[in-house]
Structure 1
Amino acid sequence: MSEKLHSSLGMHSASSPMGHAPGGPPRGPMLLRARRVAIAIVVLLALGAAGTVIGRVMHMRDLRTTTAAQAHIYVNTTTVQQSKGGETIALPGTLQGFIESPIYARTSGYVLRWKRDIGARVEKGDVLAELDTPEVDQQLAQATAAREQSASSLELAKISAERWESLRLRDAVTQQELDERRSAYLQAQSNLAAADANMRRLRDLESFKRVLAPYAGVVTRRNVDVGDLIDAGNGGASRALFSLAQTDPLRVYVYVPQSYASLVKIGETVPVTQSEHPGQSFRGTVSRTAGAIDTTTRTLQVEVSLPNRDGRLLPGAYVQVQLPVGDSEILVAPSNSLVFRPEGPRVAVVDTDSRVRLQPVSIGRDFGQSVELLSGIHVGDRLILNPADSLAEGDLVSVQEPAPAKDKR
């Protein structure tokens, strides 16, 4: 009985040192194998649990690193510098011919032929078109006949007046009759003068059959063709036959802000640039100003004259006039460094401890890509370019490759 109990408990009997039951198979190797399997399972489970814990720890560490990196703000900055030399402002304008005018017909008729087309360069007096004027021709013929009739009446009135004067000397006629003949003679003279004036008017109208260029220039538009009915004048139903422009010199009008109006000097040379001619500047001259500030726009109209002997510049083209506004030393900052808040304009300055300081500034002149700052900054300050709206006072930032500010005017 005790042997069976020992066997069931895995204990060896004294009479069975090898752990074998008398007359049965050996159990020692089987138990040893089972123990090894159990130990291996326990080890694997422990390793799995340890790997899970380590993975979670590493994941949390990576998450903290990523969160910290995303929370860090990277910015580009520029260094405030002092601008020296002549200050200029770029003002847009449109080139115009020194003279630009529509050409109307001065007599009514039909277009018989046109002699010049768009782009043609003409001299003063060149024929642009010829008109057929049948009505004017008929009126001129009628006026010529009326003039001859008036001349004949004048001759008869003159003879009658002379005859009645001789009769009056012999008291053959009364003074009243002589006065009537003299009055008829004077009336005949007036009628002839009126007939002459009417005939000259119609001859002038007939001469307007030939539409002439009033000055040297280029034809910029042709609005008629052969057979078109033309009405005389420059209003109502009449239309312009051509448009003509004098292209040398050209003129351009710019509008100078009131703050710079007192700095404009008549006769001063100003550079004019055009995007179609990169790297090239044309020399213009300030020829005149309006002499008064426009109350609507608060600007001064300035006319700049521009030579164009080679015809490279075309009327209607867009140009930039670089207008000098004096010599001074000022602090300039890029326009994209400004932050506009309800309390006023600010710039985001990076302090020595890489903290953001939103500094109030006073803005002076606007040069386009840069502005003059009158107060709030100093030479050497680092300004953040394109600051985010979420940027706040005291934020920690990392600066990426600061570049010196350029005077982009």
Structure 2
Amino acid sequence: MTEKTHASLAIPARETEEGEHRLPPRHREWKRAKIAVLIVLILLALGALRTVIANMMQSREVAASTEQNAQQYVHIVLPKQTDSGGSSLLPGTLRGYVESPIYARSTGYLLHWYADIGAHVKQGQLLAELDTPEVDQQLAQALAQRQQTSSSLALAKSSLERWQQLRQRDAVSQQELDERQSTYTQDVANLAAADANVKRLQQLESFKRIVAPFTGVVTQRNVDVGDLIDAGSGTSRALFALAQSDPLRVYVQLPQAYAQNVAVGQKVVVTQAELPGQQFHGTITHMSGAIDVPTRSLQIEVTLPNSDDRLRPGAYVQVAVPATAHARLTVPGNALLFRAEGPRLAVVDANGKVDLHKVVIAQDLGQTLEIESGIEPTDRIIINPSDSIADGDHVQVQPQKSGKGAS
């Protein structure tokens, strides 16, 4: 029974295979083509699905990157408070307590000079001698003219005395006596004029000797032996320049903001870059009575002892003057924004919102700025802000690295 059943079942299968083999070749190729097309369609669908998934993932990455790049990351600092009663370094110029160019008052030729640059001279010391032949001749002529006038005066005096005696005897008229009196008076005046001319030329003669008007050091010598020296200071050059180097004067232009913090008698410290580690103590002795309008500054004068001649007139120095009577806030110089409305500082609140504060700069100290007004000690100031930063922007504050102080 079982064997028959198996035999009956095997017969159709065999018939089926034989039937397929009995199909025409065209039908078998068509069936294979449909299977290939189906496989290709499945592969294309899988490829399209992969592309769609990849595009979706890339879009999400781009969106996340765009959002991250749109976020501004900033570093912040807190303002530092300066100590009240501090000092500020201001540029100054050393000048001799007395400085003077020395000109000739008499025209002539230079015979000798006795002091060169750098020489220390005393008041009245001979610096140079001139040869003045024209003045010598004029003086000789003036002396001769004075002698003539003196002789005429003696004759006029004796004549007047005789005419006065004759008038007493009524031998001459009053008119004639008055004429003799007038002649005598005129000769007296002529003698006085001759004396004045002689004294003038004698003074010019004395100017042949060029002497130091005060004790100091020769800073310039502009002439040499044989040079023609013209009198006066209009177009002629100075023979020498003399400066008194002890004490010295220091002239400082004090900004208007500090004008109320200094007074005559205050002590200041003067330093020079070429003399590191050395300080020179001076005293404010004079102050200008008004603020200079173009510079908005007050000129002060400091008297500085210089007994050892370590400092030289004309040198550039720095003067530490009282800066302020109250404390101010300082911020790094790289925190400042320059806008058309004026200087600004970008302040960040607790929510990351930016607010641009208008500030008044009291002093530019180089790497730091001293702020007069516009910020509070608790304000968080953005350093190195972007030029495009504006009010209302949201930023992300980055924490300071450990061991790195804000500056």
What TM-score, normalized to structure 1? 0.74
What is the rounded CA distance, in whole Å, between the counterparts of 1:162 and 1:346 in structure 2? 99
Structure 1 residues 387, 75: CA separation in 2 closer, same or farther (over 3 Å shift)? same
Name 1:33's counterpart in structure 2.
Answer: none
Cα deviation per residue 1:331-363 (whole Å; 9 max; x = unaligned)? 22122222224465443557789x684552523
CA contact 1:350–1:382 (8 Å) conserved in 2: yes
Aligned to 1:35: none
Tell me, yes or no, if structure 1 residue 365 matches structure 2 residue 362.
yes
Alpha-carbon distance, 1:297 to partner: 2.1
Aligned to 2:173: 174
| 1:214 aligned partner | 213
Partner of 2:134: 135
Question: Is 1:403 matched up with 2:405?
Answer: yes
CA distance in 2, matches of 1:274, 1:182: 75
- Per-residue CA deviations over 1:94-128 (Å, capped at 9, x if unaligned) read 11112222111011111111111111111111111
Unpaired segments of 5 or more residues in structure 1? 1-59
Deviation (angstroms), 1:210: 0.3
Looking at structure 2, the residues matched to 297 and 164 of structure 1 have their Cα atoms a distance apart, in angstroms, of 78
Check if 1:261 corresponds to 2:259: yes
Q: Does 1:326 align with 2:328?
A: no
Task: Give the deviation of 1:271 after TM superposition.
Answer: 1.4
May I ask how many residue pairs the two structures share in their alignment? 338
- Show CA shifts across 1:185-238 (max 9, x none): 222222211111111111111010001111111111111111111111111x32
Aligned position for 2:237:
239
Bigger Cα displacement from structure 2, 94-103 vs 391-400: 391-400
Say whether the 8 Å CA contact 1:251–1:305 is kept in structure 2. yes
Change (3 A) 1:75 1:220: farther
Residue range with higher mean Cα deviation, 225-234 or 78-87: 78-87
Cα deviation 1:125-179 (Å, max 9, x = unaligned): 1111110000000011111111111111111112111222222233332222222
Instruction: Report the Cα distance in structure 1 between the residues aligned to 2:279 and 2:254, rounded to whole angstroms.
Output: 20
Q: Separation in 1 of the partners of 2:187 and 2:152?
A: 6
The residue that corresponds to 2:150 in the other structure is: 151
Amino acid at match of 2:357: P
Q: Distance in 2 between matches of 1:351 and 1:111?
A: 80
Q: How much is the aligned-residue C-alpha RMSD, in angstroms?
A: 2.9
2:277 corresponds to: 279
**How many Å separate the matches in 1 of 2:208 and 2:341?**
71
Structure with the largest fraction of helix: 2
Distance 2:156 2:340 in 1: 96
Bigger Cα displacement from structure 2, 336-345 vs 127-136: 336-345
- Return 5+ residue gaps in structure 2 as ranges: 1-57
Change in Cα spacing, 1:358 to 1:273, as seen in structure 2 (3 Å) is farther
- Name 2:197's counterpart in structure 1: 198
- TM-fit CA distance, 1:372: 2.0
Distance 1:367 1:249 in 2: 32
Q: Distance in 2 between matches of 1:145 and 1:363?
A: 79
* Secondary structure, aligned partner of 1:168: helix
Kindly provide the amino acid, as one letter, of the partner of residue 229 in structure 1: L
Separation (CA, whole Å) in 2 of partners of 1:313 and 1:386: 42
Q: Quote how far apart the aligned CAs of 1:86 are.
A: 1.4
